[in-house]
Structure 1
Amino acid sequence: MTFAPDQEPIPADTARHVRIIDFIQAAETLKDTLRSGRTAQGRLESTAEHTWRLCLLAILFEAEVANIDVLKLLKICVVHDLGEAISGDVPAPIQSSDDGRAARERQDLLTLCKALPEDLSAEIVALWDEYTDARSPEAILAKGFDKIETMLQHVKGRNAPGFDYAFNLGYGREATDRHPLLREVRSLVDELTQREMASQADA
């Protein structure tokens, strides 16, 4: 940042900045937090990689949605899996609505956010709650795109023999049915899944 000759620099709040850096360092764990999805080369993807592509997906469809706060959408995408920095990821095929995962991830998020200044901690937890409850248009889109990114990875990945591609066809349907754009994109992903299933059957 540059300042005019007659303008004094704003003093840095060093203690606040240290807390932010401490949080960032703790969140680095997500680079090594592995998911069950595999990349095109066959290695397990990380939660950080999943989050990056989810954000990219949201950016690329920005022009397709009206009256959406895109910055808020991206913030929700970035924070939605932060709790996994502590307890890790639960693979999509074994998730269930009554497995206590949401409460555990929220507690882990609270633990992770203790390093942050209170205002930033409160903002991140509020965004996470908004995502979990899908109580805003941005949260609905984030939740739907999250499911779609997971399904796309299942199709793109070099999976082990016998991988259950049919899982995709029922996965996350409730989330992707909540917005016209999500339904349309979901239909394209379903086509990719069915094509991959046919390819595997012919192999």
Structure 2
Amino acid sequence: MKAREYLDILHVAERLKDTTRHCTTSKGRVESVAEHSWRISLMAMLLREEFPELDIDKVICMCIIHDLGECFTGDIPVFNKTDKDREVEDKLLSDWVNSLPEETKKSFSALYAEMDALETKEAKLYKALDKLEALIQHNEAPISTWAENEYELQKTYAHDAVAFSEWLKELRAEVLKDSLDKIAAAKEN
């Protein structure tokens, strides 16, 4: 890869630093997509011992690139995202990936195909972490930042994504406990 090609990729990816998400931080600041991607990458790295049979480096790569399509479309919360929104994002991302240097194009394309198929444990782990991170972030954010539908989503979201792993089901249960405690504390105040 030429130095200019490398820089061009980084310039596109930098957009995620300014692309905001629906979630807020513990201090109430709107978070960026880059911050979300960083944290699910950290989450994956920390699970190396829990999932020794998995290629955690591949999972980390999936976590890093999973939202690059949002460089072109911005972030649309899962509960607002339509099939048309997904088609547009997929098309713009595909066009960009196809413009990359050959080896990078092959690598990214293979990862996106595996992520989309959700057949490998690596892809399932990345998807579970993606969903769980949003729930964890909501638990850390001030409850005043929650949309009305998020009270129910905190209780119901991501159970399907963690079903393949006892450890992840345990984590989801702990996240749910934190959500219920937060909701109860807010009702008391």
TM-score (norm 2): 0.91
Quote the offset at 1:162 in angstroms. Answer: 6.2
1:143 is aligned to 2:127: yes
From 154, 166, 176, the equivalent of 1:180 is: 166
Unpaired runs of at least 5, structure 1: 1-12
Which residue identity lines up with residue 92 of structure 1 in the other structure? V
CA separation in 1, counterparts of 2:33 and 2:55? 24
Quote the offset at 1:117 in angstroms. Answer: 0.2
Which residue identity lines up with residue 112 of structure 1 in the other structure? W
State the secondary structure of the residue aligned to 2:21. Answer: strand
- The aligned length equals 187
CA separation in 1, counterparts of 2:54 and 2:146? 40
Q: Which has the larger radius of gyration?
A: 1
- Paired residues for 1:29-48 under 5 Å: 29-48=15-34
1:156 is aligned to 2:140: yes
From 116, 125, 139, the equivalent of 1:132 is: 116
More helix by share: 2
Which residue identity lines up with residue 135 of structure 1 in the other structure? E
Post-superposition Cα deviations, 1:144-175, rounded to whole Å, max 9, x if no partner, equal: 01111000011101243664333211112221
1:168 is aligned to 2:154: yes
- The percentage of aligned residue pairs carrying the same residue is 32
CA separation in 2, counterparts of 1:161 and 1:41? 11
Quote the offset at 1:139 in angstroms. Answer: 0.5
> What's the Cα RMSD here?
1.8
Unpaired runs of at least 5, structure 2: none
CA separation in 2, counterparts of 1:158 and 1:112? 37
CA separation in 1, counterparts of 2:78 and 2:139? 14
Match of 1:5 in 2: none
Match of 1:110 in 2: 94
Match of 1:87 in 2: 73
Match of 1:9 in 2: none
State the secondary structure of the residue aligned to 2:27. Answer: coil
CA separation in 2, counterparts of 1:23 and 1:58? 23
